[in-house]
Structures are given as structure tokens and as C-alpha cells.
Amino acid sequence: MFLNFLIPLCFLFSTPTADHAIYISVLEVDHKQLKVKVFMDNLEDAIQNDANSIEGYFLKKIDFKINEQPIQLSLEDIHEEEDSFWITFKVETPKIWKSFYLEAGYLMELFPDQTNVVKVLGDNPQFFSLTRLKPYCSFTN
């Protein structure tokens, strides 16, 4: 069922638009990387209002914990793709995840309808939809 939702997202991000009325982002996380895909214009607005840099903005807006321990994000790469950016952070996580917590309320301060779709990669992939009312996700193994 979630794939029915995710497939149209791929088309949304692959079609360049001058102006858009949908506020959505994709975040993928695994044991070594946390990757965020955002529209360029949304990110530019957010940085102007809340931070001096892309890294500074996301460090303020993302809280990531594995096994109840904070995980540090380190900016690794920014890749432009049509009208969006893929922003990659290096993370070092334990091999075994007993618990997972991610708060990712970025862009929600500017866009009340912002949705951040989270995909946790691995042997048992997990999917979450974060909104202003619930900007976090978690699970335990």
C-alpha cells in the first residue's frame, strides 16, 4: 500500500516545476548515511529564515537516536538534481538497532502542510510519514 504512495512521489521529484504547491521531502537512513531530498526553493527559504548554512539548518532540525544514544550527523555531500537537492550526512551507528528514533521537523516551520517521508533501509525496511502534528518516528526491535 505504501508503495502506491511512494511511486507517485518519484514522479513528483523527477518533474521540474517553476512553482509547486506540494511540500514534501524524502529522507532515507541506513547504518552509514542519512540522505535528505528537498526542493531547492524550500531549502533556500528555510536557510534564509533559520540558519547560516545547510548543515547548520539540518543539525538544528534533525534529532537521530539509535539505542537511545544520539547519532551525530556530518555533512558529506550535496548533489543537485533538477529542482531539488540530495543532502547526504555521514552517520556512525551501532550494528544492532534495538531502538530507533528520528525527529525531522525541517521545513515545517515555513510550510504547515510539509510532509517528510522517511524510509529506513535494511533487512526489514520501515516507512513513516512525518507531519507538523507528529514530526518524529520510532520503533523497537
pTM to 2 decimals?
0.83
Confidence of residue 11 (pLDDT cuts 50, 70, 90): very low
Model confidence pLDDT, tens digit, residues 28-39: 999 999 999 999
* Grid cell digits, residue 60: 538544528
pLDDT of residue 68: 97
Sequence spans of domains, the chain: 2-13+24-140
Share of the chain above pLDDT 70, in %: 86
| CA distance linking residue 47 with residue 93, whole number of Å | 28
Model confidence pLDDT, tens digit, residues 38-86: 999 999 999 998 888 999 999 999 999 999 999 999 999 999 999 999 9
pLDDT of residue 21: 74
Instruction: Using CB atoms within 10 Å of the CB of residue 85, give its burial: 0 to 12 exposed, 13 to 18 middle, 19+ buried.
Output: buried
* Grid cell digits, residue 122: 535494511
